[in-house]
Amino acid sequence: MKVPVFRRIAAELAARIAAGEPPPGERIMSIRQIMAEYDVAMATATKVVAHLRDEGLVRARPGVGTVVAGGVRSPGTGPDRDLVVRTAITIADAEGLPGLSMRRLAGELGIPTMSVYRHVADREELVLLMMDKVMAANPPPPRLDPARDGWRACVEALARLQWSMYRRHTWLAQAVSFTRPLLAPHAMAHTEWTMRALEGHGLDPSTQFRAAVTVANYVRGTAVNLEDEAQAVQETGMTDTEWMDTQRRRFTAVLAAGRLPLMARFMATSDRELNLDMLLEYGLQRLLDGLETQLTPHPEPHTQPATEDRRR
């Protein structure tokens, strides 16, 4: 069977890497350099780099490019489970969950692929541990107390904490599921926190739970767009604002037809900025406004009115 061109090129580059050219941590040939040296199309060169990444020989380093992965560890110095999970998080932060495979993880750790299974049963358990580790590093706000600060301040603080986690780990929103939830203790602690904030406001346990999950799912649902946003910036080299500027003429042409008068009125205002942070905040406030209509206020502390006899 004829070997595909990209595999043949990848094998040659893998041999160079094995010989220390380039050494671990140094950049490999770029896609354009591969195109020029081997006279292949961009699609083929892209497959070469993707194959080397899947084999665990190279990894993406933000701000640098694709570099050779770390060297093989000496016998007896294998990673522990914590290092495996932390390394998986680093890969997912740089390349997303699609870039994370057991082979890719093993290459980054410098161990055989099968050795990864000494620490995790499968990829699903790995993602569960990754998610729970991120949650463990971001516990519910310890300085807030529903009895003192109010339920809304506590729920808002947790929602914004979760949003900040999703911003730092854009893969996390893809990992979290509310239809088939992974049983991650530290993630469950987030749900418990919101339920505790709503305790004593007239909600039965089922409604408390649904309310807590609804708020968390709103934040997660908005955060799903973060990975797409980051990918678009990487592919185009433009921020959302810069991209919108390039589309201004098309917007003007569409609105000039007169079929979208309210959109045209909005676009004519000075306050037309829109981004995911603004969407998150606007929607969160409206969601909490709606939730508030279901709550009964905490009863005031019982105080018996003074009588004439007591005043005497």
- Render pLDDT for 115-165 as a digit per residue (tens, 0 to 9): 899 999 999 999 999 999 999 999 998 888 888 999 999 999 999 999 999
pLDDT of residue 73: 47
Residue 203 reports pLDDT greater than 90: yes
User: Above 80 in pLDDT, residue 293?
Assistant: yes
Q: Residue 118 to residues 26, 43, 230, 277: CA-CA distances in angstroms?
A: 30, 36, 33, 40
CATH 1.10.10.60 residue window(s) in the chain? 5-135
Q: Which CATH number fits domain 5-135: 1.10.10.60, 3.30.420.40, 1.10.390.10, 3.40.50.300?
A: 1.10.10.60
Q: Give me the helices (H) in 199-301, please.
A: 205-236, 240-246, 248-256, 261-267, 276-292
For residue range 204-248, list pLDDT tens digits in order.
Answer: 999 999 999 999 999 999 999 887 776 666 566 666 667 667 777
| Cβ 194 vs Cβ 211: under 8 Å | yes
Task: State the pLDDT at residue 282.
Answer: 93
pLDDT of residue 165: 93
pLDDT above 70 coverage of the chain, percent: 84
In angstroms, how far is the first alpha carbon of the chain from the final one? Answer: 106
Rounded to whole angstroms, how far apart are CA atoms 225 and 145? 32
User: How far, CA to CA in Å, does 297 sit from each of 108, 116, 150, 196?
Assistant: 54, 52, 10, 15
Classified by CATH at the fold level, domain 139-292 comes out as Tetracycline Repressor; domain 2 (1.10.357)
Angle in degrees, 0-180, between the axes of helices 205-236 and 185-198, rounded to the nearest 10: 120
> How sure is the predictor about 306, in pLDDT bands with cuts at 50, 70 and 90?
very low
Q: Which contiguous run of DSSP H or E holds residue 66? A: strand 65-68
Give the helix ranges, DSSP H, for 75-150. Answer: 81-95, 102-109, 113-116, 123-136, 146-149
